[in-house]
Amino acid sequence: MHALIVVAHHDPLSLTHAVAAQVAAGLTAAGHSFEIADLAAEGFDPRYTAADHLVHRSRATPPADVLAEQARLDRADALVLAFPIYWWSLPALLKGWVDRVFVNGWAIDYGPDMPVVKKLRHLQVHLLALGGADQSAFDRHGYAKAMRTQIDYGIFDYCGAKVVTSALLLESEDGAATAHLQTAKAVGQRLFEAETVAG
């Protein structure tokens, strides 16, 4: 089996990159293949442009960079997103990747006279979100639920993809890094097992 690991962090020495590397190590140990998409290093442009709007409105051919990302996803049995939590959500780079790549005609089919057809039912999704706050802050303010609503359901369930792992790797600036790296490797090792990993 093959996984696409998408990393959205500008610093290659970040904990986010280390988490992605541990997922990859786990996949390798379990006999699976992977590709890492380092959106910042590759210079992916997250800006939604007039060309992207034409894809949405009239199913025009997507720009070349979007087609390349869709091809990566088409090769994958699973998608792993490793990202820092910015303002209780995805960083702009990753949100722009979703905005531009998960488009009508590829991730879903819909129009004025038809219901939404979910086209990514074959794809497993694993979310590893790194945050500096503790779990009580996420629970107290409803941030964990809000993130699951907007990301797990609002993006991936809407396209039919199954979110298997939705882990908040918190207190990442307070000594929890080692535990997060162990969690990431375990996620990679079990990525294609039926067992759900929850955070």
Q: Domain ranges for the chain, please list them.
A: 2-190
Residue 88 falls in which region: left (phi positive, over 0), alpha (psi -120 to 50) or beta:
left
In the chain (199 residues long), the average pLDDT of successive 10-residue segments reads 97 97 98 98 97 91 97 98 96 98 94 90 97 90 93 97 96 87 97 62
Specify the amino acid at residue 181: L
DSSP bridge pairs for 84: 130
Task: Tell whether domain 2-190 is in CATH 3.40.50.360.
Answer: yes
96 and 141 in contact (C-beta within 8 Å)?
A: no
What are the tokens at 126? 């694993």
Residue 141, number of CB atoms within 10 A of its CB: 12
